[in-house]
Amino acid sequence: MITLINGQLQNTISVQDRGLAYGDGVFETMLSIHGQIPLLHKHMQRLHESLQRLDIQTNRIEENIELIHAHLLSDKQQIVKLTVTRGVGPRGYLPVKPCLPTVIIQISDKNNIDETKRRSGVSITYCETLYSKQPKLAGMKHLNRMDQVLAQMELAQGPFDEGIMFDDKQCAISATMHNLFLVNASCLITPKLDECGVAGVMRAHVLDLANQLNLDINVQTVTKNHINQADELFLTNSLHGIWPICQLNSTILPIGPVTSELMNKVAKVIPYGD
């Protein structure tokens, strides 16, 4: 693992960093293949939007992206985690201006243990752990991730690969570490994320591809009824691409034609299994 903090080879941060104290920051987890990050543009778009919404000002992102590329290896798949916190500050929730954000780069090798999940699909259940709603953070990949930690701890008690999380109105938001897609009568459906949830980069990429394929697309409120009645279900994230859902609780599902077509499209840009 290579770790750089504000451009220096270093693996510790100040205990006064607001990323630790309050989770005051955001991160991107990106896949590098042959020394390139295929969806870099979309990652940067989300990162910059999130930093702007949080009023975390830094002009050092581009130089850190150059630094990342200088450390990527052309002969393997790697995972690049880029974290930006508001930086060190005194005690107290209110940020002191100006802040000096902390930019953390972590590069590690990707193993391929998940390859069978993409090929054969995954089993999924419904989580009891709620997704907490905060419209001011909706869509961001911020550092307040206890909902996901708790949901994963719940999931680890059972046999399922993933779990769908709901808000307190029983609307599906996403799985614990993937976005959720449904296919119903050839229409591609994914939960709207205006009150909570991470607007995944692979989710955005799949929506782009669906547009190119002239699929009907609905970004909408999704209930258990919608999920139970779907023809196809699949999950997305940047590291895994598309994972078909082959089992929902006790119901076995086939890998359907829309899922397969989108997987083929994704594979042309991002050769996951290579």
Question: Toward a second copy, which CB reaches closer, 22 or 223?
Answer: 22
Among 11, 36, 186, 228, binds a second copy (CB under 8 A): 11
Q: Is residue 236 left, alpha or beta, with left meaning phi > 0 and alpha meaning psi from -120 to 50?
A: beta
Tokens 């909706």 correspond to: 138
Does residue 184 touch a second copy according to CB under 8 A? no
3-state secondary structure of 105: strand
If the CB atoms of residues 141 and 265 are measured against a second copy, the closer one turns out to be 141
| 103 binding a second copy? (CB under 8 A) | no
Residues 6+ apart with CB under 8 A from 206: 181, 188, 236, 242, 262, 266
Residues 163, 149 contacting (CB under 8 angstroms): no
> How far from chain centre, in Å, is Cα 262?
18
Window 28 to 47, contacts with a second copy (CB under 8 A):
29
Does the footprint of a second copy cover residue 148 (CB under 8 A)?
yes
According to the binding rule CB under 8 A, does residue 8 interact with a second copy? Answer: no
Counting contacts by CB under 8 A, is residue 9 touching a second copy? no
Closest CA to 123 of 161, 95, 87, 88: 161
The only residue of 47, 82, 173, 196 in contact with a second copy, by rule CB under 8 A: 196
Q: Is residue 85 a contact partner of residue 101, using CB atoms and an 8 Å limit?
A: yes
135 scored as a contact of a second copy (CB under 8 A): yes
**Contact mark string toward a second copy, 224..243, x via CB under 8 A:** --------------------
With CB under 8 A as the rule, give the number of residues binding a second copy.
Answer: 57
**104 contributes a contact to a second copy by CB under 8 A:** yes
> How many Cβ atoms are within 10 Å of 178's Cβ, its own excluded?
27
CA-closest candidate to residue 48, choices 64, 33, 67: 64
Q: Which residue number, 106 or 247, has a Cβ lying nearer to a second copy?
A: 106
Nearer to a second copy, 81 or 256 (CB): 81
Would you state the torsion angle of the CA atoms of residues 154, 158, 161, 163, taken in this order, to the nearest 10 degrees? -40
**Binding of residue 93 to a second copy (CB under 8 A):** yes
158 is a contact residue toward a second copy (CB under 8 A): no
Sort 171 into a burial class: Cβ within 10 Å, 0-12 / 13-18 / 19+: buried
Residue 52 engages a second copy in binding (rule: CB under 8 A): no
Q: Select the residue interacting with a second copy from 6, 58, 144, 218 (CB under 8 A).
A: 144
CA–CA distance from 202 to each of 23, 31, 135, 188 (Å)? 24, 11, 21, 15
x-marked contacts with a second copy along 63-92 as a string, rule CB under 8 A:
----------------x-x-x-x-----xx
Footprint on this chain of a second copy (rule: CB under 8 A): 3, 5, 11-24, 27, 29, 55, 79, 81, 83, 85, 91-95, 104, 106, 108, 129-130, 132-137, 142-153, 155-156, 168, 176-177, 196
